[in-house]
Structure 1
């Protein structure tokens, strides 16, 4: 699975939410400055070349849908991040967030309860 650019990820989030969409529908969902239709169409076709999306043809237009689930992408992204920045250590990753005060003690307790429940 190839890494996606920020814009590709943004488009994938829209497709995961909508499930199926034409380029004009994707464009309508984008926040802020919207890229030109042709630019967006190129990005979506790049996603198709990377095997993240496929399409159904309706004459000259295409309706796109995800081939990769959000969950599968999330797992891959977390695995890569864990390997690249935390030496494959979940402990190191959680410690980082604790030190940066991005996770509270209560959230850590909830995580521990979830882990204990699974075991």
Structure 2
């Protein structure tokens, strides 16, 4: 599975959310973006070439759907990030977010509850 660019990831987020979408549907979800329809269409076709999306043809237009699950993508690249930046230590990941004040004590309590339930 190939790593996506930031723009490709953003577009995949929309496709994962919508589950099935024409380019115009994706465009409507990117309300804060200034992206041309043809550029978006090209990026979606690139995602197709990378085997991230498939499509169903309706005449000359295509409705796209994800071939890669969000959870599979997240697992692969989060694991790679933890390995690359934190030497595989999830403790270091949590410590990093705690030091950066990105995670609260309440969040940590919730994480502990989740761990205890498994």
Normalising by structure 2, what TM-score? 0.95
- Give the unaligned 5+ runs of structure 1: none
User: Could you tell me which residue of structure 2 aligns to residue 41 of structure 1?
Assistant: 41
1:74 positional shift? 1.2
Q: Are 2:9 and 1:9 equivalent residues in the alignment?
A: yes
Q: Deviations over 1:61-101 (max 9, x none)?
A: 11100001111111112111101111011011001001111
CA separation in 1, counterparts of 2:49 and 2:106? Answer: 43
1:33 positional shift? 3.1
Report 1:14-33 matches (<5 A): 14-33=14-33
**Structure 1: 4+ residue segments shifted above 3 A:** none
Matched positions, count: 118
Normalising by structure 1, what TM-score? 0.94
User: Could you tell me which residue of structure 1 aligns to residue 59 of structure 2?
Assistant: 59
Q: Secondary structure at the match of 2:40?
A: helix
CA RMSD of aligned residues (A): 1.0
